[in-house]
Structure 1
Amino acid sequence: MKEILIFISNEYADWEIGYISTEIRKSNKYKISTVSISKEVIISMGGLKVNPTYAIDDILNNGIENFEMLILCGGCNWRKERYENEAVKKLVNMFKENSKSISAICDAVTFLAFNGYLNQVKHSGNSWEYISSVCPNYTGKNNYIEKQCVRTDSFITANGTATLEFSREIMKGLGLNTEDEIDNWYKLNKSGFYSE
C-alpha cells in the first residue's frame, strides 16, 4: 500500500490535517505516515503529541517510490524559521523531481513561495500581499489565484482558513471517491445538517 507522507513540526496546526488524514485512512487506499526533522515527539498547537513515523533523513536515504504525496501542514514553526529549512527543501525537491504531488496549507504555502517553488505554478495561499511581503524572491504574482484552494498537476495549495477545501482537493487528486461523493462530503461538512 502506498503512503501519504505528512510533514509536521512543533506547533503544527493539527486541525489543518484532521479531515484529510481521516478520509485517507478510511479509504483503505493509502497508509498515512508522518515525517519530521527527527523522530522526537512533536507537539501540535492543540497539544497533541505525535511520534513521527520517519525522520527526513530516513526518506532522503531510502527514496520515495512507496510514497504517493507529500502534505506540508501549516503551523507556527514555518515563520519562526523564517521559511528556511534545508532538510524540508531537500524533501520537497525529491518529491518534485520524481513527479510526486505536493500539498501545502497556510504558512507551508509561504515556505514553498519563499523557496521559489510557486513562481511558475498556479497557487493560492494566505494572500498575495502577505506572501510577497515575506518572500523577497517570490515572483509568482501572475500565478496567484484568490481562491480557498488551488489544485494543479503537481501542487495543491490552500490558505489557512481552507481546511475543508484543501481536504476536498487532495481527495480528488488521490481519487479517494467519485467527484460526486467528494462534493457531497464537502457540502455536508461545510454546511452541516442545519442552517444557523
Structure 2
Amino acid sequence: MKKIYIYVLDTMSDWELGWVLSAMSVADELKGQQYQIQFVSATKAAITTIGGMKIIPECTIEDMEDDACAALLLPGAQDWTSEKHQAILKKVESYLNEGKIVGAICGATLALSEIGLLNQFLHTSNSLEYLQYFSKRYTGATLYRHDRVVNHKKLITAGSASSLMWAKEIMQELEVLPQAVLNSWYHYFSSGEVMYYLQMMEEIAKANQ
C-alpha cells in the first residue's frame, strides 16, 4: 500500500492538516483504498502542536519507505528553523524529481524557500512579502503566484488561510477519491449546504457498487 507521509513537529499548526484527514476519512469508506497515512518526525518522541495536541510519530525519517511514498506533506510550524528538520527537507527535492507529491503550507513554504527550492518552482505562500522578509535565500519572486493554492510539477503550496483548497488539490493529484466524491466533499465543506453531503454519500455508494 502506498503511503502519505505527514511530517509532524513541535509548534505544528494542527488545523492545517484537518481537511486532509477529513478527506482521507471519506476515502476509508471506499473499497480498494490504496493509501495509508503515516506520521513521521525527526524522532519518535511525542510532539506538541501549537494547539496543545500531543502526537506520537509512527516512524522516524530513517524509517521512511521511499519506494512506498506517494506524497510527503509538510504543515506550518514555528519550529521549522531547527536543525533537526533538515533531514526531511533534504528528501523534498529528490521526491519531486521522482514524481512524488510534496505539499507545503504556511511556514513549511518558508522552510522550502530557505533551501532554495522556491527559486525553481511556481509557488504561493502566506504572501510574497512573507517570503521576502523572512527568507535570506529567497529569490523566486517572479515564480510567485497570488493564488490560494499552486500546483507546479507536483509541488503543492498554499498559505495559512487555504488549507481546505490545499487538501482538495492534494487529494485530486493523488486520485484518492473519485472526482464526483471529491467535488461534493469540497462543496459541502466550503458552503455548508447539506445537499452536497447527500451527494457525497450517493457518490460513495455508487463507487462501492
CA distance in 2, matches of 1:83, 1:133: 20
Show structure 1 runs of 5+ residues with no match.
none
Q: Report deviation, 1:135.
A: 1.3
Q: Report deviation, 1:88.
A: 2.2
Alignment of 1:172-183 (within 5 A): 172-183=172-183
Partner residue of 1:42 out of 47, 53, 60? 47
CA distance in 2, matches of 1:129, 1:84: 26
CA distance in 2, matches of 1:96, 1:193: 37
- Answering whether residue 116 of structure 2 is matched by residue 116 of structure 1, we say yes
C-alpha distance 84-160 of structure 1, shift in aligned 2 (>3 A):
farther
Q: Is the 8 A contact 1:72 1:108 kept in 2?
A: yes
Q: Report deviation, 1:84.
A: 8.3
Residues 8-37 of structure 1: per-residue CA shift (max 9 Å, x gap) = 101111111111123224323310001111
Q: Report deviation, 1:139.
A: 1.6
C-alpha distance 173-83 of structure 1, shift in aligned 2 (>3 A):
farther
CA distance in 2, matches of 1:84, 1:142: 30
Q: Report deviation, 1:107.
A: 0.5
CA distance in 2, matches of 1:160, 1:53: 25
Larger radius of gyration: 2
Q: Tell me the amino acid that sits aligned with residue 40 of structure 1.
A: A
Q: Which has the higher helix share?
A: 2
Alignment of 1:41-190 (within 5 A): 41-59=46-64, 63-78=65-80, 81=81, 85-190=85-190
User: Secondary structure of the equivalent of 1:118?
Assistant: helix
TM-score using structure 1 length: 0.88
CA distance in 1, matches of 2:163, 2:76: 10
Q: Tell me the amino acid that sits aligned with residue 55 of structure 2.
A: V
CA distance in 1, matches of 2:166, 2:172: 10
TM-score using structure 2 length: 0.83
Q: Is the 8 A contact 1:114 1:134 kept in 2?
A: no
CA distance in 2, matches of 1:42, 1:72: 15
Comparing 82-91 and 108-117, the one that deviates more: 82-91
Q: Report deviation, 1:82.
A: 6.7
Show structure 2 runs of 5+ residues with no match.
28-32, 195-209
Residues 32-89 of structure 1: per-residue CA shift (max 9 Å, x gap) = 0011110001111222211101111222xxx4001100000112212xx278842122
C-alpha distance 15-46 of structure 1, shift in aligned 2 (>3 A):
same
C-alpha distance 167-140 of structure 1, shift in aligned 2 (>3 A):
same
CA distance in 2, matches of 1:102, 1:85: 15
Residues 90-137 of structure 1: per-residue CA shift (max 9 Å, x gap) = 232442343311101100011111211111211110101110111122
Q: Tell me the amino acid that sits aligned with residue 173 of structure 2.
A: G
C-alpha distance 83-132 of structure 1, shift in aligned 2 (>3 A):
farther
